[in-house]
A = this chain, B = another copy of it.
Amino acid sequence: MASNGWGTLFKITTWGESHGKAVGVVIDGCPAGLPLCVEEIDQALAQRAPGKSPYTSPRDEADRAEILSGVFEGQTTGAPLSIAIANRNCDSSKYEPIKELLRPGHANSTYLQKYGVFDYRGGGRSSARETACRVAAGAVAKKILRHYGDIQVAAYVAQIGAVQAASQEHNWSRLREHTYASALYCPDAAATTAMSALLERALAEGDSVGGIVAFIVNPVPKALGDPVYEKLEAKLAHALMGLPAAKGFEIGSGFAGATWKGSEHNDSFIIHEGAARCATNHAGGLLGGITTGMPLYGRVAFKPASSIRKSLPTVTIEGKPATFTLPEGSRHDPCVAIRAVPVVEAMVALVLVDALLLDRSARL
């Protein structure tokens, strides 16, 4: 089945394996007339940057995108944008010793079952390397959002292990300034210190920890999203639960909202500067799947990375008991939530651009 794409009118298709020649994305349906240069994409890729901190696994060189089509004289033409990002520093030989082992917590066993074959080099297609393509496409989507009323998408690390950052919903400017200045993509300095200690300990133990990424969109145009099966929260959930290692999704009050009473949860309407708006925003900016105009916010939970230095019991493809040990020199992150921050932003941006374009067909 064709499962490597996302979107209805603004549609991406990604391709490439961790240790293949390159990874890339084709964007089909990008509106014409958007100024675009490759540096904007490279900047977005740098935020997902290998080598940025001790907490994200390094590649030697920064990712460089190449725009192969769809831009003419500095702006989009309505033709597909093809963007490729070369894979460098790919020594696949180190994966030879584990090519016959089912990897605990990893997709090689299910890919083998489904396809009868698995590209074991660095995780192949199931590698988080694929998310570079999402970030590249997200850079284009974010630029389109800025065109429409300067819509901004922000994400940040809200929790690592049990350490929680203070909520950032009411401090938008701090969020924008501090998130990417932090090695952990967490705008809360105190939490960052505690999280760093936790990560150091996990690294020392050869282990990994899970985390939670929060996202906020502000300002948000009214009336985005569609009812019933294509509610905006449903599409966000789809987009974000498709990220590697994602285990949970919340919008607005989320799971905590299940413990509230209706009289507490309902957001009253008031008149604000001459127009109706919600007095509070427990809904997270959505009613009936459609944006209210209030900020959109939610969270994504990520399990601890399955790739750890600790050895684990497993079995071989032939069904013999064995021990899985991560190859020396293979890249792995102690907490995938960190690097997920720009990827979450990208996916949220992709969902919103599609919703913007789709909304144009709602009325005569």
Asked if B271 and A249 make an inter-chain contact with CB atoms under 8 angstroms apart, the answer reads no
The reply to whether the CB of A9 lies closer than 8 angstroms to some CB of chain B is: yes
Asked if A209 and B20 make an inter-chain contact with CB atoms under 8 angstroms apart, the answer reads no
User: Which partner residue on chain B sits nearest A104 by CB separation?
Assistant: B266
Contacts of A117 in B (CB 8 A): 32-33, 72-73, 75, 77-78
Given contacts A110-B223, A247-B258, contact A9 B319 (CB under 8 A): no
- In the complex, A346 Cα to B115 Cα: how many Å? 25
User: Which partner residue on chain B sits nearest A308 by CB separation?
Assistant: B262
Asked if B15 and A68 make an inter-chain contact with CB atoms under 8 angstroms apart, the answer reads yes
- In the complex, A29 Cα to B240 Cα: how many Å? 22
Given contacts A26-B13, A360-B361, contact A202 B261 (CB under 8 A): yes
Asked if B361 and A227 make an inter-chain contact with CB atoms under 8 angstroms apart, the answer reads no
Contacts of A197 in B (CB 8 A): none
Number of chain A residues close to chain B: CB under 8 A: 159
The reply to whether the CB of A267 lies closer than 8 angstroms to some CB of chain B is: yes
CB distance from A87 to the nearest CB of B (A): 10
Stretch in contact with the other chain, from A46-54, A56-64, A123-131, A169-177? A123-131
CB distance from A36 to the nearest CB of B (A): 12
Contacts of A29 in B (CB 8 A): 1-3, 361
Q: In the complex, which of the residues B15, B252, B310 contacts A70, with contact meaning CB atoms closer than 8 Å? A: B15
Contacts of A91 in B (CB 8 A): none
User: Which partner residue on chain B sits nearest A78 by CB separation?
Assistant: B115
The reply to whether the CB of A250 lies closer than 8 angstroms to some CB of chain B is: yes
Asked if A337 and B105 make an inter-chain contact with CB atoms under 8 angstroms apart, the answer reads no
Asked if A288 and B107 make an inter-chain contact with CB atoms under 8 angstroms apart, the answer reads yes
Contacts of A259 in B (CB 8 A): 159, 161-162, 209-210
User: Which partner residue on chain B sits nearest A358 by CB separation?
Assistant: B1
CB distance from A8 to the nearest CB of B (A): 7
